[in-house]
Chains A and B, each alone.
Chain A
């Protein structure tokens, strides 16, 4: 048993480095999507202290809207634009109808409100688009479907073009978001609002504008992840689970840390894949990916309650 846990996996890794690379690559692909989703959570949490339970359903809703619009005969790229429009309207509506009236309420009320949003969107989605599974319009969007075969170490490494596209697009989106947050005035305003509301008001930052903005960013993220995940797994309400994968990422990275979200996402993506292949399948019969991330996050929290990157909370007297 000892050898199976502590020795064999490493031996396997070294024996077949090409396969190890394959596993790492696949972990990276999921990881970057987790990171994106976690970023959406972090942005909303930082600027309004709301834990956005609706992030998952926003992914589904965005994907459904895109596919639905296309099914109505709208050209693929126009559908993307229109879906973005829908996500913007959704952001404005949420700010007007839900957030603005609830300003100043306890955090738990706002959290409940996002559950409300979730239920509402499930209902709305099913009413408009129906509950059955759909296929992502991968081809129409011009996303390549083939694969590239490499032969590192004389072995075999298969890179799906879809995955490559996902990694590139998601990376670009993350970089763009970071640049936006760090080097533009609007980005500074978002970060500022997360730090101190009163001060933010005094320099002319409008809460409403920022809230609409961060919810819209969350919407964009939802659409990108929706397309990426939908292309692999089909478009259904089950897509929602990808958002829950962001939870351990947040526990690991801290709710307020942008770096934490990115690093945490990548870490979880890669580690859960490694664990599944080298420990999960041989020892536990597989399917560990559903719970591994949570267990990892719990273990980390035992030692660092603030997460890996969160600010250490120092109580001052």
Chain B
């Protein structure tokens, strides 16, 4: 079986044991097979990317990990245990935070409130205490606010703290979404096309933030991207998907040399 000792990356970071493992995942929608018998693992502390051309099933895979889809076949193992079918909010409470390709923020709320919702998974005081027992709830509120302020500082969005999210430009919304996910102090951070629709400068900013998150907090990150260049620079290991199948898995260099991958990206018909 898989070793649990981890490995050391090119830039000298120690990567830990397996955090999440997908075992023979298949996902069907009616007759359509979105994911076909895919297995791979995500290790603690690494930046893992899933890449592939449009329609390869990357987003479906991310939705399986985050509980938005339940796989038709196969098992999801998380933190050493087999994960039973779960609702997305339950997955979130297990420490898996995510962002969305098309940005799903609470548009009517301020940036601060949006990021504060990221702390919901850490809510200890129950509904009753929230409403009545102010002591505990308000102490928790202060703690949450402190954590959230660090994230706001980290992502350099202090100037828009009190701005309603609906008024922000696209690039900043993406950053706020990342902030909300980070506020959850996740064990696993899922990023669905974090650079989609960004210009070069915004992409560079976002790349820097992703690397800094991994570096500063040691957060395990799994991201989807179709911009090969960005992915290769960011990630430690890459899964390549095409037509719902896994066609490559390894370090960026290994994947770059893989013929199936080249074919998929250059559009050479495979048979």
Contact = CB atoms under 8 A, between A and B. Distances in A.
Interface of A: 176, 180, 183-189, 191-192, 194-196, 198-207, 209, 213, 311
Contacts of A195: 105-109
> In terms of DSSP, what is the predominant structure of the interface of chain B?
helix
Contacts of A187: 130
B249 interface: no
Contact of A201 (B68, B105, B137): B68
Contacts of B180: 203
Interface stretch (B25-33, B38-46, B116-124, B199-207): B116-124
Contacts of A202: 66, 88-89, 92, 97-98, 100, 104
B120 A199 contact: no
B120 A188 contact: yes
Interface in B74-133: 87-90, 92-93, 97-98, 100, 104-109, 113-114, 116-121, 123, 127, 130-131
A194 B106 CA distance: 8
B149 interface: no
B120 A201 contact: no
Please list the 5 inter-chain residue pairs (A to B) with the smallest Cβ-Cβ separation, ordered nearest first: A199-B104, A204-B92, A195-B106, A204-B121, A201-B88
Contact of A188 (B93, B97, B117): B117
Contact of B117 (A176, A183, A192, A198): A192
B51 to A, nearest CB: 22
B100 A180 contact: no
A206 B89 contact: yes
Given A201-B88, A205-B117, 16 more contacts: A184-B131, A186-B131, A188-B113, A189-B117, A191-B106, A191-B113, A192-B114, A195-B108, A196-B104, A196-B107, A198-B68, A199-B100, A203-B120, A204-B90, A206-B90, A207-B89
A199 B87 CA distance: 13
Interface residues of B, number: 35
17 contacts: A180-B131, A186-B123, A188-B120, A195-B105, A195-B109, A196-B104, A196-B106, A196-B107, A198-B68, A198-B104, A199-B104, A199-B105, A202-B98, A202-B104, A203-B121, A204-B90, A207-B89
Given A191-B113, A201-B68, A201-B87, A180 B130 contact: yes
A192 B107 CA distance: 9
Contacts of A188: 109, 113, 116-117, 120
> In terms of DSSP, what is the predominant structure of the interface of chain A?
helix
B164 to A, nearest CB: 10
Contacts of A204: 89-90, 92-93, 120-121, 184
B37 interface: no
Nearest to A193: B106
A201 B96 CA distance: 12
A192 B106 contact: yes
A259 B180 CA distance: 26
A294 to B, nearest CB: 28
Nearest to B99: A202
B88 to A, nearest CB: 4
A213 B127 contact: yes
Nearest to A202: B98
B175 to A, nearest CB: 15
User: B87, B106, B121: which has the most chain A beta carbons within 10 Å?
Assistant: B106
Given A199-B105, A203-B184, A185 B89 contact: no
A267 to B, nearest CB: 22
A301 B90 CA distance: 42
B260 interface: no
Contacts of B100: 198-199, 202
A143 B165 CA distance: 45
A258 to B, nearest CB: 10
Contacts of A176: 131
Given A188-B113, A201-B89, A196 B105 contact: yes
A191 B105 CA distance: 12
Contacts of A200: 89, 106, 117
A191 B112 CA distance: 13
Contacts of B109: 188, 191-192, 195
B99 to A, nearest CB: 8
Contacts of A180: 130-131
Contact of A184 (B66, B90, B141): B141
B120 A205 contact: yes
Contacts of A184: 130-131, 137, 141
B227 to A, nearest CB: 23
Contacts of B219: none
B144 interface: yes
Nearest to B67: A201
Nearest to A194: B108
Contacts of A207: 89
Nearest to A183: B141
Interface string B62-75: 00001010000000
Contacts of B141: 183-185
B193 to A, nearest CB: 15
B230 to A, nearest CB: 23
A199 B88 contact: no
